[in-house]
Amino acid sequence: MRVLEARLDELELPLVEPFETSFGVERRRRLLLLQLVGASGERGVGECVAARDPLYSAESVATARWLLSRYLIPDLLAHETPDPGAFLDRVRGLKGHPMAKATAEMALWDLYARERGEPLATALGGKRRRVEVGVSVGIQPSIEALVRRVGEYLDEGYRRVKLKVRPGWDAAPVGAVREEFPDLRIWVDANQAYPPSAGPAIVRWAVRLGVEQVEQPFAEREFGAHARLCRARRFRVCLDESIVDRASLEEAIRQRALSSLNVKPGRVGGLTSSRELQRITAAARIPAWVGGMLETGVGRAHAVALATLPNFVLPADLSASRRYYRTEIIDSPFELGPGSTLAVPRGPGIGVEIDEAALGRVRRRSQRFRPKHP
């Protein structure tokens, strides 16, 4: 692949409703979108999932924009790239910044699949035509509001609900949801909010309330605390922020610190790494699933394609487009279908196209790049 032009857009989209986790509250999503134009005339697009502030991870929109502009995009314009893996090999010396690297790598995957005339899911090795999904529900203003919101999602057709929790917002709200919906599949996600000493209390209320999965209750390097929680064997213990690459996953498996894995391609450096982590969990007989990070339809299309791989067997956090945004920047928004599923786009690449008019309404700045020496 030869990249002849790149465009980096910074967007800002208002969320349908505030999304609150233990990290804080998001009302408007600032994000980056990278488009690459190949010598074939095809266009590949990737989305950066870094947040405005470095809270979920060390990266932010500002750091990702700097790395993309200073290093990653110039590299793409300067080299012939046979496949996305070759790009990753070239930039391996740049330490860290997996979200910035994933933005470029995923845009390359889209371009690569388009030039081959095949869906991204097929290029990755996926087989499914539909992907089962669930919905993530942020911390609400009241327990009553939470129960009402969960009921609305169930009416829309979702079958699995993940509730954000933190100290002081756990047993009571989860219990209220369980009382109202006794047969509901409930997961909870703490985003590292608890100290290791809270493990026994988490076991008590999670078991009593029939919680199916507890995600990332402790800090990312607290493998020992997660391992102790795993020994309860009454629910799955899922890791998210703890796993950023192959080495961290292999260490977590060695310590028996997880019984499921949330793979977010932006968090782990892109689709190539995500595919590798999926293979490792399959070999270890650990179920995996694809998580979301408030993506637009571009990031969601990449994640849906990834979720077609064999060991992504648990419902993904990839809700319909209208879950987060009223303004969608793709031409074919994702709709929830039968069995709480999303259809996998069958067109070339990610299978959807940018709606340039909609993109223009939410664009805040834009920068174009061309090779210095054509």
95, 101, 162, 164: the active-site residue: 164
List, in order, residues 6 or more apart from 357 with CB less than 8 Å away. Answer: none
Contact 48, 103 (CB under 8 A): yes
264 is catalytic: yes
Q: What is the CA radius of gyration of the chain?
A: 20
Rounded to a whole number of angstroms, the distance between the first and last alpha carbons of the chain is: 15
Please, what is the Cα angle at 61 between 59 and 63, to 5 degrees?
55
Q: What is the dihedral of CA 199, 203, 205, 210, to 10 degrees?
A: 150
Residues paired with 206 in a beta bridge: none
* Phi (first) and psi of residue 157, to 5 degrees: 120, 0
Contact 202, 217 (CB under 8 A): yes
Q: Pinpoint the alpha helices (H) of the chain.
A: 61-67, 73-78, 84-90, 98-116, 120-124, 143-156, 171-180, 199-208, 223-230, 246-254, 271-283, 297-306, 356-362
Q: How far apart are CA 244 and CA 48, in angstroms?
A: 16
Q: How far apart are CA 332 and CA 82, in angstroms?
A: 29
164 is catalytic: yes
- Tell me if residue 154 falls in helix, strand or coil: helix
Tokens at 300, concatenated: 């969601």
The set of catalytic residues is 164, 264
